């Protein structure tokens, strides 16, 4: 039986529950693709899943795999798949219900894959996937961000925020970024028109915005109050430490009040991933690599993201 290395955990807990081990390479269902993974990254949702904060969704069946996004090459294709072939260079995302991208091989549905950028190395390209597809969906499809509008990005140095700054500028907005003091120059280098230290700048100091993109998951009510007439707020994260209240507020704001908060969980398909490929190859967005970790240091990678102050993404090099 052919084996592969994969990152996993056997119980909920801190980063120390993570380890890597050998698993059988999975059989390929007729409607899926087996990808030989070269790089993956660590995303905030994985931390909450590993800690057990969303165990009502993730359940108690172990071991559990980690990893959402990947760059690699097609190793095998299911009998019903015609959109990709063995040897194709691809990138995309696995289903968040199962994870599994941080492994030497991963099963992916073909409708979640697109040709990988040709201008970037795998460890660079993978930093764009989750944040780029989320930002395009949030700013274009949910907020309908237009040229000249004022955009506020909370968490502007992180995996989603660093792409939201770039996508916002691509759409012609005036972008204000909130980040930690040590990352202000970094956010400015991404194209932000204004940057502020979230620890020393109060929301009242920021003014009004047409669109607020929230990646932090906290204080939704406060930042909703910064919206100008006709303003839109999109939240891409919840307050997992106060989950029932966070869900209740967002649900209520979606139906009450003049300025509603839109919340969504990304589920990008191949057309959106292919659009991001074009942006990457044309230089519209640039990779945002914080640190590259080997697979055996998966716990270190999770610990680093938890520590905060990240610039872009922590990447896991697989092969």
pLDDT greater than 90 at residue 240: no
pLDDT computed for residue 1 by the predictor: 67
Would you state the structure tokens that stand for residue 72, as one six-digit string?
A: 């690699």
Contact present, 114 and 70 (Cβ < 8 Å): no
pLDDT tier at 251 (50, 70, 90 boundaries)?
A: very low
Q: Distance between CA atoms of 103 and 290, rounded to whole angstroms?
A: 20
Q: From CA 45, how far away is CA 131, in angstroms rounded? A: 12
- For the chain, the distance separating the N- and C-terminal CA atoms, rounded to the nearest angstrom, is 20
Report pLDDT for 250. Answer: 47
> 26-40 pLDDT, tens per residue?
999 999 999 999 999
Q: Compute the 3-state secondary structure of the chain and give helix, strand, coil in percent, each to the nearest 5.
A: 35, 30, 40
CA distances from 235 to 61, 95, 141, 142, 268 (A): 30, 21, 13, 10, 17
**CATH 3.40.50.720: which residues of the chain?**
130-263
CATH 3.90.180.10-classified regions of the chain:
3-116+288-317
| 257 vs 260 pLDDT, higher one | 260
Q: Which two tokens stand for residue 146?
A: 């237009």
Return the pLDDT at 265. 65
Domain spanning 130-263, CATH class: alpha beta
Q: Among 80-84, 96-100, 311-315, where is mean pLDDT lowest?
A: 96-100
Chain centroid offset of residue 66 CA: 13
Long-range contacts of 12-15 (CB under 8 A, 24+ apart): 12/50, 12/51, 12/52, 12/55, 13/50, 13/51, 13/52, 14/51, 14/303, 15/50, 15/299, 15/300, 15/302, 15/303, 15/306
List, in order, residues 6 or more apart from 294 with CB less than 8 Å away.
Answer: 316, 317
pLDDT band (50, 70, 90) for residue 319: confident
* Model confidence band, residue 182 (pLDDT cutoffs 50, 70, 90): very high
Distances (CA, A) of 152 to 12, 129, 166, 233, 309: 34, 21, 12, 9, 18
Backbone angles phi, psi at 8, to 5 degrees: -160, 175
Residues of the chain with pLDDT > 70: what percent? 90
Whether 313 has a pLDDT exceeding 50, the answer reads yes
Coil, strand or helix at 167: helix
Give the per-residue pLDDT at 26. Answer: 95
Q: Write the secondary structure of 104-130 as one string of H (helix), E (strand) and C (coil).
A: CEEEECHHHEEECCCCCCHHHHHHHHH
Tens of pLDDT, residues 40-60:
999 998 999 999 998 888 899
**pLDDT of amino acid 255:** 47
The C-alpha atoms of residue 290 and residue 304 are separated, in whole angstroms, by: 10
What value does the mean pLDDT of the chain take? 92
Closest CA to 15 of 313, 259, 300: 300
Question: Considering the domain 3-116+288-317 in this protein, what is its CATH number?
Answer: 3.90.180.10
Give the pLDDT band (50/70/90) at residue 259: low
pLDDT tens-digit map of 183-202? 999 999 999 999 999 999 99
- pLDDT given for residue 54 in this prediction: 87
Q: Are strands 113-115 and 174-179 parallel, antiparallel or unpaired?
A: unpaired
Tokens of 116: 């990988």
């Amino acid at each position: 039986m052919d084996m592969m290395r994969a990152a996993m955990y056997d119980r909920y807990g801190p980063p120390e529950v993570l380890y890597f081990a050998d698993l059988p390479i999975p059989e390929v269902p007729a409607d899926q693709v087996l990808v030989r993974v070269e790089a993956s990254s660590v995303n905030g949702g994985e931390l909450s899943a590993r800690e057990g904060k969303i165990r009502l969704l993730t359940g108690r069946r172990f071991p559990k795999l980690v990893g959402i996004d990947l760059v690699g090459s097609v190793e095998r294709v299911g009998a019903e798949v015609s959109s990709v072939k063995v040897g194709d260079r691809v990138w995309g995302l696995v289903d968040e219900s199962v994870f599994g991208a941080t492994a030497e091989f991963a099963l992916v549905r073909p409708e979640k894959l697109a040709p990988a950028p040709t201008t970037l190395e795998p460890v660079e390209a993978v930093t764009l996937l989750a944040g780029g597809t989320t930002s395009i969906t949030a700013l274009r499809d949910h907020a309908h961000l237009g040229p000249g509008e004022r955009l506020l990005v909370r968490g502007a140095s992180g995996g989603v925020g660093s792409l939201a700054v770039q996508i916002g500028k691509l759409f012609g907005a005036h972008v204000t970024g909130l980040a930690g003091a040590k990352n202000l120059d970094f956010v400015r280098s991404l194209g932000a028109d204004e940057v502020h230290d979230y620890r020393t700048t109060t929301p009242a100091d920021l003014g009004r915005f047409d669109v607020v993109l929230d990646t932090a998951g906290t204080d939704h009510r406060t930042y909703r109050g910064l919206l100008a007439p006709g303003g839109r707020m999109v939240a891409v994260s919840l307050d997992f430490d106060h989950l029932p209240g966070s869900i209740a507020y967002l649900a209520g704001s979606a139906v009450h009040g003049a300025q509603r908060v839109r919340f969504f969980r990304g589920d990008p398909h191949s057309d959106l991933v292919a659009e991001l490929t074009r942006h990457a190859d044309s230089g519209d967005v640039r990779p945002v690599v914080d640190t590259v970790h080997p697979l055996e240091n998966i716990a270190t990678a999770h610990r680093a993201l938890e520590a905060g102050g990240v610039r872009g993404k922590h990447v896991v090099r697989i092969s």
